[in-house]
Amino acid sequence: TTPRTPLMAGNWKMNLDWKQGLALVEELGDQLKGFDTDKVETVVLPPFVDIRTVQVAVDAGKLPIAYGAQDISAHESGAFTGEVSGAMLKALGATYVAVGHSERRQYHGEDEQVTGAKVKAAFAAGLTPILCVGEPLEERKAGNHVPYTLAQLTGGIEGLTAEQAEKIVIAYEPVWAIGTGEVAGADDAQEVCHALREALREQYGDVVADAVRVLYGGSVKSSNVVELMGKADVDGALVGGASLKAEEFAKIAGYQ
């Protein structure tokens, strides 16, 4: 259990065109009717091309759903073909953006320098970054998961003010648990989520460390979310596959 407002974020990845996205968000809105957003924050991260549709649906139905993007350009504007800026996302009513998802790190060569720049770009545009960190299997096997993940945190938050650091969301996603059906044990999740919070405490002090939401991600489902959320330093979940079904994702968001 967490003294912070839990956050359940659905990462659609490269799934659902705008029509399918619309159907999902409307169904999710139905499922979450009467949901108290002070108790749990529900967020969807659709592909860029679905965001306008999600915005219209959320506004029209006053749905208790926040939304954002899966990535952001590190640059403000200009000659960066194929990129999407923070200001463009902000203009769509987006409030969150994932930064440094392991698939971005793995397939798009994003390193700590890139994630650090993207975190700053998100803040500059008034968005809340969800900085994703987590170790691959070989680092876990070598017992190196904590230092590996903390190094990604250090790179991602470099140069942030305490005010910014207080707002960031961190998602601990062990790479071996993403999309594999292999969920980290709740104690494993707690170990790293706690280490992340303590690293923030060391760098920024108690106010920041006690405010930041640290999520767990990796094969979260309605059947394992309760146990994960029972851990002191787990403040929510970043959900891939299970966020593509409205009923299942609503169950995760309504885990209490």
The Cα 40–Cα 36 span in angstroms is 7
Using alpha carbons, select from 116, 147, 146, 113 the residue that is nearest to residue 129: 116
How far apart CA 89 and CA 205 sit, in angstroms, is 31
Q: Which residue is nearest to ligand PEP (CB)?
A: 240
Site size for ligand PEP (CB under 6 A): 13
Q: Which of 180, 178, 208 is nearest to 196 (CA)?
A: 208
Query: Annotation-wise, does 240 bind a ligand?
Result: yes
- Reading the block at residue 160, the tokens are 């942030």
Name which of residues 188 to 217 contact ligand PEP (CB under 6 A).
Answer: 217
The residue among 131 and 239 lying less far from ligand PEP, judged by its C-beta, is: 239
Interacting span for ligand PEP (CB under 6 A) from 36-44, 153-161, 173-181, 194-202 = 173-181
Site for ligand PEP in 212-241 (CB under 6 A): 217-220, 238-241
46 binds ligand PEP (CB under 6 A): no
Q: Which residues of 72-99 are buried (b: 16+ CB within 10 A; e: fewer)?
A: bbbeeeeeeeeebbbebbbebbbebbbb
Known catalytic membership, residue 101: yes
Q: Which of residues 63-122 bind ligand PEP (CB under 6 A)?
A: none
Between CA 200 and CA 202 the distance in angstroms is 5
* 173 in active site: yes
Residue ranges for the known binding site are 11-13, 179, 219, 240-241
Interacting residues with ligand PEP (CB under 6 A): 11, 173, 178-179, 217-220, 238-242
Residue ranges for the known binding site for substrate are 11-13, 179, 219, 240-241
- Active-site residue numbers? 101, 173
